[in-house]
Structure 1
Amino acid sequence: MTIISPDAKPAAAPGTSRVLLAYLRRDRLALAAAIFLALIVLAAIIGPWLVGDAASRLGLRQRNLAPFSLEHSWIYFLGADTLGRPLLARLIVGAQSTLGIAAAAVFSSMLIGGTLGLVAGYSERWYSHMILRLADVVMSFPSLLLALIVLYTLGPSITNLVIVLAITRMPIYLRTARAEVLELRERMFVSAARSMGAGAARILLRHIAPLVLPTLVTIAAIDFATVILSESALSFLGLGIQPPDFTWGAMVANGRGYLSTAWWVAFWPGLAIMLTTLSLNILSNWARTVADPQQRWRLQTLRKAAR
């Protein structure tokens, strides 16, 4: 017979971060994607400070320098572009611009679309229908075509680029938030809060929004890769960020005329775009599997297979 002391404390349950790390270690592909994205984010944050002005410094002696050579410096390991600027430094600085624009666009679209979705889902007044019609109008246009028209009219700039990308992605968050609210507003806890005299704003902010937010964050993680591709396409067409600033898409556009003589000028930024979007998709699929209890058994299967 086991005697339990009254002073004994129950074992602490593992924290959420520890559980997520355990699930991440079971999926090696998701772990590799997370490590790669962490390195990209780290390079975007501290990389420009490390390389200084090397990304914009001209070096005509290193013009179209081939990669995989340490003859000049480690910063020329990936080669140089047509003006002798080291591609490694430009990739690091371009990561900051690319990820910064994508993050601003995704956050803006999630904030605006989520807020409008909360209002449209909870209220049954005329403006909720107006919000839905607004989303229908935006979704009726191809996103890239709409972005081209707006940027051609207003002119390419970082602000206009973020606004256009946010507008084209906003209906996804709006409709998702509205669908969640339509189901949550009929729950018992909402009726109880309403009977206690809570107003619509308090119910939305204190009771419904915290339950909708995880779904929107999951969509944002998936949408981040799409926004990066859209920004790269617009920069490739010359309607994105303008010189002297640049992104990975602009680097690909600058190197497209030298594919036969200096393939590395366009190859490395294109590879960075591909690996970043691929890693984001892999990690978002892993997050969706972890968040769904009915799909979590897949990670258990991966762990048994690894053994």
Structure 2
Amino acid sequence: MSDSTPIAEEKPAALRFLAMLWRDKVALLAAVFLILVVLCALFGPHFLEAAATKQNLRGRNMPPFTLSQGWLFVLGADQLGRSLLARIIVASQNTMMVAAGAVLCSAIIGTVLGLFAGYGSKRTGEAISRLGDIIMSFPSLLLAVIVLYVLAPSVGNLVIVLAITRIPVYLRTARAEILEVRERMFVQAAKVMGASHRRIMFRHILPVVAPTLLTIATLDFAFVMLAESSLSFLGIGIQPPEITWGLMVAQGRPYLNNAWWLAFWPGLAIILTTMSLNLLSGWMRIALDPMQRWRLEGKTKSNG
């Protein structure tokens, strides 16, 4: 009887994570909001691109919560009479695209370099680490400003610049984790059984350090999104007619005295998205750590 009890309580990993997320209402709210942002980024431009670019000079700087022009103007209109709600939804695609592209590229390159730096020879590790130190010696935002000033501001250049500045984060984290993991017994056992170095790195070590890197990527997504918004606010990010949340804040800055909503709503979208990412990353740090996961699972079981 006692042997069958653990088997009956065993649940698939996906269901256990969903149960833990359901128990943490703050993390659940953050996840729902991020899903909503992703859906807006994927489908918003398809449905609302025309409304985001349609001008109505009679309704310029229309205050929020004025429904005389329709529900799209619930957040007001900009200096050319365009719907702020539609523009925020359409701008989410470029904002998310730049942030996701930069994080994905920097995570892949930094993790691979960190694998070789941590598992390879001491000389290889030192050489790769010095490369990361060189990149980190330049302030990331200043480096992005210099490069984008020389190159033409575009989505591709913005992704490349932001990705380069974030590579050392994953490189140093992966190297530090791998230097400890490679001394564990399962790695030594894989060597004794004749596993190749590539198999050990990518099949045995990488799954162990992946949860830590995934948590960092969630936090880094918020940082990159803020960096993109800062560059767009300075006028060297994505250029009109393309729009991002940071560019909308920059365009609304001259109207802060008489039309505060032009900069407030896109700024609020940036704040809520970064806050949700930070909250969700804190939950993921606990949920993906087998040593701390019991805190969430224990609460879930006590509820059940």
Matches within 5 A, 1:219-258: 219-258=216-255
Matched residue type, 1:246:
I
Equivalent residue, structure 1, for 2:92: 95
Equivalent residue, structure 1, for 2:198: 201
Q: Structure 2 CA distance, aligned partners of 1:141 and 1:294?
A: 36
Equivalent residue, structure 1, for 2:55: 58
- Cα distance, 1:306–1:76 mapped onto 2, change above 3 Å: farther
Equivalent residue, structure 2, for 1:82: 79
1:107 to 82, 95, 104: 104
C-alpha displacement of 1:194: 2.4
Q: Which runs of 5+ in 1 are unaligned?
A: none
Q: Structure 2 CA distance, aligned partners of 1:182 and 1:297?
A: 26
How many matched pairs? 302
Q: Secondary structure at the match of 1:79?
A: coil
Equivalent residue, structure 2, for 1:211: 208
C-alpha displacement of 1:126: 3.1
- Cα distance, 1:122–1:305 mapped onto 2, change above 3 Å: closer
Q: Structure 1 CA distance, aligned partners of 2:193 and 2:275?
A: 48
2:153 to 134, 153, 156: 156
Equivalent residue, structure 2, for 1:287: 284
Q: Secondary structure at the match of 1:54?
A: helix
Q: Given the alignment of the two structures, is residue 127 of structure 1 paired with residue 124 of structure 2, yes or no? A: yes
Matched residue type, 2:213:
L
Q: Which runs of 5+ in 2 are unaligned?
A: none
- Cα distance, 1:14–1:300 mapped onto 2, change above 3 Å: closer
Higher helix share: 2
- The 8 Å contact of residues 113 and 173 in structure 1, kept in 2 or not, is answered as yes
- The 8 Å contact of residues 37 and 276 in structure 1, kept in 2 or not, is answered as yes
Q: Secondary structure at the match of 2:217?
A: helix
Deviations 1:176-215 (A, max 9, x none): 1111211122222322332333332222122212222222
- Cα distance, 1:197–1:218 mapped onto 2, change above 3 Å: same
C-alpha displacement of 1:169: 1.0
C-alpha displacement of 1:128: 2.6
Matched residue type, 1:211:
V
Q: Structure 2 CA distance, aligned partners of 1:157 and 1:52?
A: 19
Q: Secondary structure at the match of 2:52?
A: coil
Matches within 5 A, 1:168-183: 168-183=165-180
C-alpha displacement of 1:12: 6.5
What is the TM-score of this pair, normalised by structure 2? 0.92
Q: Structure 1 CA distance, aligned partners of 2:194 and 2:290?
A: 35
Q: Secondary structure at the match of 2:50?
A: coil
Q: Given the alignment of the two structures, is residue 32 of structure 1 paired with residue 35 of structure 2, yes or no? A: no
Q: Structure 2 CA distance, aligned partners of 1:251 and 1:219?
A: 28
Q: Given the alignment of the two structures, is residue 67 of structure 1 paired with residue 50 of structure 2, yes or no? A: no
- The 8 Å contact of residues 211 and 289 in structure 2, kept in 1 or not, is answered as no
Matched residue type, 1:29:
V
* Runs ≥4 residues deviating over 2 A: 125-128, 187-199, 289-307
Q: Structure 2 CA distance, aligned partners of 1:198 and 1:34?
A: 39
Q: Structure 2 CA distance, aligned partners of 1:11 and 1:298?
A: 21
Q: Structure 1 CA distance, aligned partners of 2:303 and 2:183?
A: 44
Moved more, 287-296 or 131-140: 287-296
Q: Structure 1 CA distance, aligned partners of 2:302 and 2:74?
A: 39
Q: Secondary structure at the match of 1:53?
A: helix
Q: Structure 2 CA distance, aligned partners of 1:248 and 1:70?
A: 23
- Cα distance, 1:188–1:300 mapped onto 2, change above 3 Å: closer
Cα RMSD, aligned residues only: 2.5
- The 8 Å contact of residues 27 and 302 in structure 1, kept in 2 or not, is answered as no
Deviations 1:126-159 (A, max 9, x none): 3332211110011112111111111112231111
- Cα distance, 1:113–1:243 mapped onto 2, change above 3 Å: same
Q: Given the alignment of the two structures, is residue 278 of structure 1 paired with residue 272 of structure 2, yes or no? A: no
- The 8 Å contact of residues 54 and 86 in structure 1, kept in 2 or not, is answered as yes
Deviations 1:95-145 (A, max 9, x none): 111111100100101000000000011111533322111100111121111
